[in-house]
Homo-oligomer: A and B are copies of this chain.
Amino acid sequence: MLELAILGFLYDTPLHGYELRKRLTALIGHVRPVPESTLYPAIKRLEKAGLLARETQPGATAAPRQVLTLTGPGRAQLRDRLASPERADITDENRWFVLLAFLRHLPDPSAQADVLRRRLVFLEEPASFFYEGDRPLRAEEMEDPFRRGVLTIARATGEAELGWLRTTLESLDGHV
């Protein structure tokens, strides 16, 4: 998730680590913080893998900046991760939102539609959180108000997203 977001932000424009961290925090910091001790090793990893290059520039007010730029393989890697996401990028809402945030970087609308369809298939799988034996329990039959809340909220989310997915897919397919 972190690596995808780094690649996504740098795809638009080169950034130094500190600025990158601010943008990452705006995107995913509301859910979980982005500590520097996670970010800087991640940058190193991506650099070592040849996905980004760094260039030292004098700092605007303080220490020198390491300006990070995606390399060719780095740009290809982002498109690849967007076009062929891991299962967890589809199933985990946090990761899915990050993926959506950068999906516009996939050049082909039909490839974008394929990704949306994977999420659609996932959302259409019958799923419940709570079971009595093998039988899924519906919100109406839960006496626990908190578990009922989980089902109620999940259902509302699912419906909102299904609606959005269907209209967006229509308009994407219309452009082909």
Please give the residue numbers on chain A whose beta carbons come within 8 Å of chain B beta carbons, in ascending order.
23, 26-27, 30-32, 88, 91-94, 97, 100-101, 103-104, 112, 125, 127-131, 144-147, 149-150, 152-154, 156-157, 159-161, 164-165, 168, 171
- The DSSP consensus for interface residues of chain A is helix
Q: Evaluate contact between A100 and B30: CB separation under 8 angstroms.
A: no
Closest to A99 in B: B146
Complex Cα gap A152–B156 (Å): 12
The complex places the Cα of A152 from the Cα of B97 at a distance, in Å, of: 11
Shortest Cβ distance from A20 into chain B, in angstroms?
Answer: 14
Q: Name 14 extra pairs, CB < 8 A, besides A26-B129, A97-B150.
A: A23-B131, A26-B131, A32-B92, A93-B93, A93-B94, A94-B94, A101-B147, A101-B150, A104-B145, A104-B147, A145-B171, A149-B164, A153-B157, A156-B161
Q: Would you give the shortest CB distance from A78 to chain B, in whole angstroms? A: 14
Partner of A27 from the list B97, B130, B149 (CB cut-off 8 Å) is: B130
List the B side residues contacting A97 at CB < 8 Å: 129, 150, 154
Q: State the Cβ distance, A27 to closest chain B Cβ, in Å.
A: 6
Question: In the bound complex, do residue A27 and residue B129 qualify as a contact, i.e. CB atoms below 8 Å apart?
Answer: yes
Q: Which of B100, B125, B146 contacts A150 (CB 8 A)?
A: B100
